[in-house]
């Protein structure tokens, strides 16, 4: 088995179980002995795909690293600007604020002019205080919605990014669940 094959198996396991395997489970996953499983874990730590905490528990520190190959121009065509040895690690990107990020699937088109479409996945940071014009997940008058947060004078309003929807002025209650920090879209 190659390192790449091991990484694919680990990613699949992580996506199904929402955690990394123990050494015994890793051995079972790779169909090898527990001793060989421990060696594979060390090999994957050395390769940067896994890490270990202070108790020796495996962490997915580089497991979800995606190669970053360069820049591409979206204006006029131009030569690509190549980058070397860089990657984006989604786990570490989210780990900057552990335990404070959750995701929501967007339903509806009230935020399309902000680049958020029906079916997109938004990452929301719940510990962040909203600033004017942040996009927020808000619990307003006993219902959840995704809108732009605006403070006008002494009033907070929720503004859609689509002219076909009205501005929301809370009648009874407003609680901000978090601030949108990222949007993920699949094109397939």
Domain with residue 176: its CATH number is: 2.10.109.10
Confirm whether 37 is domain-assigned: yes
Confirm whether 112 is domain-assigned: yes
| 111 compared with 152, residue with greater pLDDT | 111
Catalytic residue among 34, 68, 110, 131: 110
Q: Note the pLDDT of residue 121.
A: 87
- Residue 72 tokens read as 């591409």
Report the half-sphere exposure of 8 (CA within 13 A, side-chain side).
5
State yes or no: is 182 an active-site residue: no
Confirm whether 20 is domain-assigned: yes
**Residues 116 and 173 grouped into a single domain:** yes
Confirm whether 92 is domain-assigned: no
Report the half-sphere exposure of 158 (CA within 13 A, side-chain side).
24
DSSP string, the chain: --HHHHHHHHHHHHHHHSS---HHHHHHHHTS-HHHHHHHHHHHHHTTS-EE-TT--EE-TTTTEEE--EE--SSS----EE--S-EEEHHHHHHTSTTSEEEEE--SSTTGGGT--TT-EEEEETTSPP-TT-EEEEEETTEEEEEEEEEETTEEEEE-SSTTSPPB--SS-EEEEEEEEEEE----
**Residues 105 and 178 grouped into a single domain:** yes
Chain centroid, CA 132 distance in Å: 23
Residues 6 or more apart in contact with residue 10 via CB below 8 angstroms: 20, 21, 26, 29, 44, 49, 50, 60, 63
**Residues 105 and 180 grouped into a single domain:** yes
Catalytic residue among 52, 126, 147, 182: 147
Q: Note the pLDDT of residue 168.
A: 94
Mean pLDDT over residues 70-88, rounded?
A: 61
- Total domain count for the chain? 2
Q: Note the pLDDT of residue 159.
A: 95
Confirm whether 146 is domain-assigned: yes
- Structure confidence by residue, pLDDT tens digits, 133-174: 999 999 999 999 999 999 988 899 999 999 999 999 999 999
Distance, in Å, from the CA atom of 183 to the CA atom of 144, rounded to the nearest integer, reads 18
**Contact by Cβ (8 Å): 134, 146:** no
Domain that holds residue 122: 101-184
Confirm whether 33 is domain-assigned: yes
Residue 3: pLDDT band (50, 70, 90) is: confident
Instruction: Count CB neighbours of 46 within 10 A.
Output: 10
| 98 compared with 20, residue with greater pLDDT | 20
**Residues 170 and 107 grouped into a single domain:** yes
**Residues 59 and 108 grouped into a single domain:** no
State yes or no: is 147 an active-site residue: yes
């Amino acid at each position: 088995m190659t390192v790449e094959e091991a990484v694919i198996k680990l990613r699949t396991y992580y996506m199904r179980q929402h955690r990394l395997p123990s050494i015994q489970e890793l051995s079972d996953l790779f169909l090898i002995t527990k001793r060989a499983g421990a060696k594979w874990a060390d090999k994957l730590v050395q390769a940067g795909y896994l890490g270990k905490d202070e108790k020796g528990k495996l962490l997915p520190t580089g497991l979800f690293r995606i190669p970053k190959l360069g820049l591409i121009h979206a204006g006029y065509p131009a030569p690509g600007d190549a980058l070397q040895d860089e990657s984006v690690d989604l786990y570490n990107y989210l780990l900057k604020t552990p335990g404070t990020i959750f995701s929501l699937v967007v339903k509806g088109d009230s935020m399309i002019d902000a680049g958020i479409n029906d079916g997109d996945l938004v990452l929301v940071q719940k510990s962040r205080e909203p600033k004017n014009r942040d996009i927020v997940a808000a619990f307003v008058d006993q219902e959840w919605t995704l809108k732009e947060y605006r403070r006008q004078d002494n009033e907070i309003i929720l503004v859609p990014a689509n002219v076909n929807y009205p501005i929301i002025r809370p009648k009874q209650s407003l609680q901000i669940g978090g601030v949108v920090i990222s949007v993920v879209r699949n094109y397939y």
